Amino acid sequence: MQSRADRRWSYTGIGAVDPDGKLASAPRSQWARLGDGSIIEALLRFDMGIATPSVMVERDLVHEVGAFDEQQRYGEDYQLWFRLALRSEVSVSPEPLVYVRNGHVDRYTRDRAAEYEARIRLFGTMGEIIPRGRLLSTLSEETRRDRA
């Protein structure tokens, strides 16, 4: 972030550990796709993922966009990344500087119905804050595809 003063947040690549904490194979492919710069469209298409422990954000930027939406049961992190991306391009360091646990039995996203409902809410929230034009049509396409 120091090398790009115009970018007010960043994240890194991630590695994976198994439930016992041993290095594991790479996490699901979504996490392997890293975006740098303007990532709004990639976020809208769910073409990438950002691991929360890898994110660094200027405090002032968090104050500007707000913290996690406590009403968003799932995807609250994704919603925050979207709000951050609307205000600032992002820098990425592809090197895995954090490790996430693969295959954790108690993963909260196992409730697929609640996850689906949260995604619809996420699209609705994003639709309220997204600039008009091409990005709004991208969101509309994703919503239609998600409901199909």
Spans of all domains in the chain: 9-147
pLDDT tens for the chain, 148 residues long, are 788 889 999 999 888 888 888 888 655 544 557 889 999 888 888 888 899 999 999 999 999 999 999 888 888 898 999 999 999 999 999 888 998 877 655 555 567 788 888 888 887 887 787 766 666 676 666 666 666 5
Which amino acid, one-letter code, is at 103?
G
Model-level pTM? 0.77
Task: Let me know: does 91 contact 1? Beta carbons within 8 Å.
Answer: yes
Cα separation, 131 vs 115, in Å, equals 25
Question: At CA 47, angle to CA 38 and CA 29, rounded to 5?
Answer: 125
